[in-house]
Amino acid sequence: MNPPAFKDPGFEMAVRLRKVIDVRENTLAGHLDRVAAYSCAIARMLGLPEDMVEQLNYAAPLHDIGKLLLDTAIIDTPTRLNRRERAVMETHTTLGFDILKDSQWPVIQCAARIARSHHENWDGSGYPDGLAGTDIPLEARIVAVADVYDALLSERSYKRAWTLKETLGEIQRLKGIKFDPEIIDQFLKHLPEPIASAA
């Protein structure tokens, strides 16, 4: 059986990195697929070119690749993290960037920006760099919305799945605080249908 053909070698690299994440964090497979799908939907809502949409499809699933370098005891904690654990968890952004930086492939460069900046907040209160507004890479602003949207709708060991109404209320509340207001306006206007989580 012939392996799949990729028009861009960077896409193949992204897929192979994604497979590493799946081996370590197989319970996240559905989440990563949904974040990619929502990110592509948001990019289209914003009228971004199709080549950027395609790039997001491969880059978005790598947003948490830095977690591969963290202690599984923290990753698999069934309760909310304490302050020390949270500080360690926050390093996954810079660890992910270090894994992906300096690539010659644009899709991996995109993934590096996302990995580092998807926890930055529009008002500058995020991490790791305290970026604000449009200083946050657009790809990271898009993935931030997709990531939170799916996380709120999904059940976790420490929380129930939120209803769609609750989730949209929280996303609206975070407009201009955590999220880019323009992205949220388009997101709420052209809401992507929630993708069912695996049972």
Nearest to 118 by CA among 53, 176, 179: 179
| pLDDT value at residue 85 | 93
Residue 161 has which token pair? Answer: 């799945």
Cα 120 to the center of its chain, rounded Å: 12
Axis crossing angle, helix 138-153 with helix 29-45, rounded to the nearest 10? 130
Question: Looking up tokens 């604000």, which residue turns up?
Answer: 132
Nearest to 60 by CA among 103, 17, 94, 95: 17
Cα 128 to the center of its chain, rounded Å: 15
Note the CATH number of domain 9-189: 1.10.3210.10
Say what the pTM is. Answer: 0.91
Nearest to 24 by CA among 57, 71, 58: 71
Verify cis geometry, omega within 30 degrees of 0, for the bond prior to 128: yes
What does the pLDDT look like over 62-83, one tens digit per residue?
999 999 999 988 887 778 889 9
Q: Which residues are catalytic?
A: 67
Is 121 in a helix, a strand, or coil? coil
User: How large is the average pLDDT for residues 144-165?
Assistant: 89
Residue 47 zone, left/alpha/beta (φ > 0; ψ -120 to 50; rest): left
Name the residue type at position 111.
Answer: A
What does the pLDDT look like over 20-50, one tens digit per residue?
888 776 656 688 999 999 999 999 999 999 9
- Residue 156: DSSP 8-state: B
Domain parsing of the chain, residue ranges: 9-189
